[in-house]
Chain A
Amino acid sequence: MTAQPQPNTFRMGPDERGRFGIYGGRFVAETLMPLILDLEKEYQAAKTDPAFHAEMNGYRTHYIGRPSPLYFAERLTEHLGGAKIYLKREELNHTGSHKVNNVLGQILLARRMGKERIIAETGAGSHGVATATLCARFGLKCIVYMGAVDVARQAPNVFRMKMLGAEVVPVESGSKTLKDALNEALRDWVANVHDTFYCIGTVAGPHPYPEMVRDFQSVIGDETKAQMQEAEGRLPDSLFACVGGGSNAMGLFHPFLDDPEVAIYGVEAAGHGLSGLNAASIAGGAPGILHGNRTYLLMDRDGQIEEGHSISAGLDYPGVGPEHAWLNDVGRVKYLSATDDEAVEAFQVLSKLEGIIPALESAHAIAKVIELAPDMPKDHLMVVNLSGRGDKDVPQIAERLGSSL
């Protein structure tokens, strides 16, 4: 699908209807429509308000601990013998992942809007933990919906959320994973329209969420650009990030979209392999409508949504953010995939070589770096987004590798 005419800029979207090409939009029930229009208005106002940015920057520096380092992974580079590999250290953020960048923005917006009850969905629990954290910080009520399957496989994060004062609601409907948590959060929102703010954890959902979450996450790419300039005096040659809904990837990619010399790779979860159970919606899906937007979805011929499969709860989602769907079709970003096995291997490689235990989600991006870096020249500058730390995954990995804790 790369034969389309190329736009002058890849950073224009979305249009006024919330579309990126044919993707995106506002496919929600009437009850939610007025709320979404209101959110859009409030976000546009905040976006151009210097006071909003000043407040956000203050918390970024002093609460999250930004900027996150761009770290030269010397031993991984030596081991692979090709490209020079840099890690964007989002796992060092307070709460341990990139998710907090977005949550900070949305919670400050919720406060501006006078909302006191915050709901969120979570897969791996990273977004849930980040939301619970900022709700604790600002004294807001927090309810996190999490698939029952994910509650079981991400136990450390469930406990963290509870410690932070959030209520964690295990979702028993459907496939009991991230998509069902999203359904349940939407149902809550419809029933609690007056006081509730829905803090979505990725670049999906109805307009304006994909745009808003992207903007809050773009700090990752903006910093990377400046840091690479400082370290190497130029732009990187390639970028890698894992793609669940696609927020850490979009945050890194967006500031580079109009730099044609930068090759950009998103890595989806191939689960058991692309011919088996997987969660790679761009590689294996087709355009459809779910959770408020049109995008690539894993589904059957009747349009029924299929249960994704990935070892990583954060990538176990049968859709992807609409801007990624568009970037795929116009050919600006290339979407690859990594299997469960490749991710588990990468998880161990990075832990042993760099002393950094990555989140299983991030390990998918590392896996493709391990595959592709050896064939690149030594002056090829490669950046991989280390979206989160792997502490939450230690029990699951221990079980998989057959050792008890």
Chain B
Amino acid sequence: MTARLDARFAQASAQGRAALVTFVTAGDPDHETSLEILRALPKAGADIIELGMPFTDPMADGPAIQAAGLRALAAGETLVKTLDLVRAFREQDQTTPIILMGYYNPIYVHGVERFLDEARDFGVDGLIVVDLPPEEDEELCLPALSVGLAFIRLATPTTDDKRLPAVLKNTAGFVYYVSVAGITGSATPDFNVVGAAVTRLKRHTKLPVAVGFGVKTPEHAAAIAAAADAVVVGSAIVDTVAKSLDGENRATASTVPAVADLVSRLAAGVRRGRAAA
């Protein structure tokens, strides 16, 4: 079920490094440019792609990802189009795992069964749905597992040892450790604390541990990569998209290159991580 993800983590580990997970919002700044960005990510050094499904009310996201979602919605992105983006990406790339990340309502309204069938058929590998804790597993997590899609759970600083087994129970692919109690784009975490948290998680699971929230620069990526199996970068990439746009939020010639440049520097940071440690 998690073949593409397992292969990627195995490959990174064989190279003695952490994997780089890059988040972009589907349809930001528009559908076509967003596909170009997706195609540029693996070439620039991204190992895994997290693709944000835009939502009007992203309660766990900070200003950068909120704005990206609103840009995408304004440009006409829908869940149907986001799934189509994955299908188009898969025509040229069969190895880079794609995780869809977002909120439950658009999926619920689309229809859970229909969504899961399409996601699997179009080449999605896993799902992160922020507002579905283990207490609501029957909604989407269990149905996703039954069609062969990984449900990747977030563990946070408030998830204590007592709660961790419940959070890990139906998690597949990898575990995503949210390094700070807060929203995306928050302050940079204390790297020593993150290291201890990863060690704690590893006591409970054999799955790879990815760490995200607040990772903005190649230096941060290197520091996290020293302790974690993967580093997730989101707001910094989405901010780079935003800064490349013209006054009417339209893509410019520099949009795709600017993202590729940041991602290649982040990839270099990730590769330095273990070497330094």
Contact = CB atoms under 8 A, between A and B. Distances in A.
Contacts of B134: 33
A187 B154 contact: no
Interface string B124-136: 0000001111111
A402 to B, nearest CB: 35
Main secondary structure of the interface of A (DSSP, over half): mixed
A288 B56 contact: no
Nearest to A173: B66
A190 B132 contact: no
B153 A299 contact: no
B7 interface: no
B80 to A, nearest CB: 8
B104 interface: yes
Interface residues on A, range: 35 or more
B163 interface: yes
Given A191-B183, A299-B109, A303-B109, A33 B79 contact: no
A46 interface: no
Contact of B133 (A29, A193, A194): A29
B108 interface: yes
B168 to A, nearest CB: 11
A35 B132 contact: no
A179 interface: yes
Interface residues on B, range: 35 or more
B119 interface: no
B57 A34 contact: no
A305 B57 CA distance: 7
Contacts of B60: 29, 31, 186-187, 190
Given A29-B130, A304-B73, A288 B62 contact: no
B181 A179 contact: no
Interface of B: 55-60, 62-63, 66, 70, 73, 78-80, 103-110, 130-136, 153-160, 163, 167, 178, 181-183, 186
Given A33-B158, A304-B73, 14 more contacts: A26-B133, A27-B104, A27-B131, A29-B156, A30-B153, A31-B181, A34-B163, A173-B66, A187-B59, A187-B62, A190-B181, A191-B186, A303-B55, A305-B57
Interface of A: 17, 25-35, 173-174, 179-180, 183, 186-187, 190-194, 286, 288-292, 294, 297, 299, 301-305
5 contacts: A26-B133, A29-B154, A30-B167, A174-B57, A303-B105
